[in-house]
Amino acid sequence: MSAGTVPADGPTPDDDAPDAADTDADDFAAAFGAGSGAAEGDDRRERDDQTEVDAPTQGNPDGSDDQGDDSPDDFAAAFQGDSGGASDDGDDGDLFDDDFADAFAGASGGGGAQMPGGGGGGGDQNFGFDLDGDTGAGDPGGDFEEEDFESDIPRIDVGIEGLDDMIQGGVPERSLMVAVGEAGTGKTTFGLQFLHEAIENGERAVFITLEESRERVVQSADEKGWNFSEHTANGDLAVVDIDPIEMANSLTSIRNELPRLVEEFGASRLVLDSVSLLEMMYDDQSTRRTEIYDFTKALKEAGVTTMLTSEASEDNSFASRYGVIEYLTDAVVVLRYIRPEDFRETRLAVEIQKIRDANHSRETKPYEITHQGISVYRQANIF
C-alpha cells in the first residue's frame, strides 16, 4: 500500500502491532491534556478500555463470528443511545410500515386532493414555495431586512466584523460550518479568528491542524495580537497538530474519543484545518464520503460549534475540492478571488451559501486580510 493511502475498508489491524491506532489516539488525547495542563492517569485508561468495548468495529477485521451483523446497530447506538434500538417484538416491520403510510396520509391533509398533473397538495400550484412573500434569506441584489430568525436555538457570533452583520441573529450553536476557499483567501485566519471570539468571551477552544505545526499556528495568532501562546499556557486553548495519514489511520479511535475529550476540556468551539487533507487520504469516493460523514457526526456529538476549512475545487471556486463536505455541514461560507477584466487589482470576496436555521444575506461582499485578521466591508459592493 502506498504511503498516504488508506484501504477502502479502513485500516487492518496487525496481530504483531495491535496497539498502533491506540497509540495515535493516546497522542491525540495527550495533546488536549497538554493544552489544559491536566493529566488523565488511570481514569483515562479505564475510559479508553470502555470505549474500545462499546465502540463499533469497522469491517470486522479480526474475523470474529458475532460482529458482522451487529456493527450497524452498534454504530447507531454509539451516536443515538439505546432509544433507537430494535424491539424484540416480531411485528416491528409491520408497525413501521403502518407509521410510514400514516405519515404520508397525514401530510396530505386527510383529503388526498390531487394537483393538476397527479401530485398531492390540493389545488395550490406554488409547489410549496411562497412565491409572493419574503423568502427569509435576503434578496440577492436588493435590501436585506434586518429580522432575526424565529428560533429557540442559542446563537453565537463568528467574530468577523461585517460577516456577523450578514448573519441575522448569529450562527446556531453546535452548528458544523465550513469555510471553502482557494490558497491565500484566509481560511486559516478565519478559523483562528473564530476561536479568538470564543476566548474573548471567556470560553475554551480547540484548534486541530493537519497542515501546520503547533508552534506555527500559535505564532500566526500571536502576530495578530490574539495571544494564543498565553491562552495555551493558561489552559484556555488546545492546539493539536497531527499528521493527516496518522489521523486517517486512527480516525475510528479519534472520533470515538473526540466527544469525551472536548467535553472534559470544556471547549465551546473547535476548528479543523483542513478537512481536504483528511479527504485526500481516501482514494475511493464512497469510502471518503462514509469516513468524513462519520467524522462530522462525531463532531456534532461533541456538542461544540465546529468550523472546518476546505480547499476549493480547481474547476469551481464555489465548491470544495471533493464536493462532499458542503453537503454534510450546516453552514457554508465561500472565500474567493474576484479578478476584473482589466486585471488591475485582484479582490477578495465572501458570500454565505447556506446557514441552516438562520437568516443571512446572499450578497457578495469584499473583505481584506490585515495584521488584525479578516474584515468584511458590509456596506461596500464588489463590482
Contact 223, 371 (CB under 8 A): yes
- Average pLDDT, whole number, for the chain? 74
The cell for 149 is 430568525
Contact 317, 334 (CB under 8 A): yes
Q: How confident is the model at residue 30 (pLDDT cuts 50, 70, 90)?
A: confident
CA dihedral sign, ordered 338, 380, 149, 135: negative
Gap between the Cα atoms of 186 and 347, Å rounded: 13
pTM confidence score = 0.65
Residue 132 has pLDDT above 90, yes or no: no
Gap between the Cα atoms of 215 and 212, Å rounded: 8
pLDDT at 380: 80
Q: How confident is the model at residue 62 (pLDDT cuts 50, 70, 90)?
A: very low
Residue 140 has pLDDT above 80, yes or no: no
114-118, 258-262, 332-336: the lowest-pLDDT one: 114-118
Gap between the Cα atoms of 318 and 351, Å rounded: 10
Q: Which residue has the higher pLDDT, 219 or 97?
A: 219
pLDDT at 5: 47
The cell for 192 is 483562528
Give, to the nearest 10 degrees, the angle between helix 214-223 and helix 187-200. 70
Q: What share of the chain is helix, strand, coil (3-state, %, to 5)?
A: 35, 20, 45
* 347-357 pLDDT per residue, tens: 999 999 999 98
148 alpha-carbon distance from chain centroid: 24
Give the residue carrying C-alpha cell 472536548: 262
The highest-confidence range among 46-50, 73-77, 168-172, by mean pLDDT, is 168-172
Q: How confident is the model at residue 365 (pLDDT cuts 50, 70, 90)?
A: very high
The cell for 60 is 470486522
Gap between the Cα atoms of 138 and 378, Å rounded: 14
Residue 113 has pLDDT above 60, yes or no: no
Contact 355, 370 (CB under 8 A): no
Contact 208, 192 (CB under 8 A): no
* 163-196 pLDDT per residue, tens: 999 998 889 999 999 999 999 999 999 999 999 9
**How much of the chain exceeds pLDDT 90, in percent?**
46
Residue 122 has pLDDT above 90, yes or no: no
Q: Which residue has the higher pLDDT, 383 or 125?
A: 383
Contact 356, 366 (CB under 8 A): no
Mean pLDDT of all residues in 120-145: 40
Instruction: Single out the residue of 126, 148, 129, 135 nearest to residue 362, CA to CA.
Output: 135
pLDDT at 102: 57
Q: How confident is the model at residue 375 (pLDDT cuts 50, 70, 90)?
A: very high
Contact 348, 185 (CB under 8 A): yes
* Phi–psi pair at 352, nearest 5 degrees: -100, 115
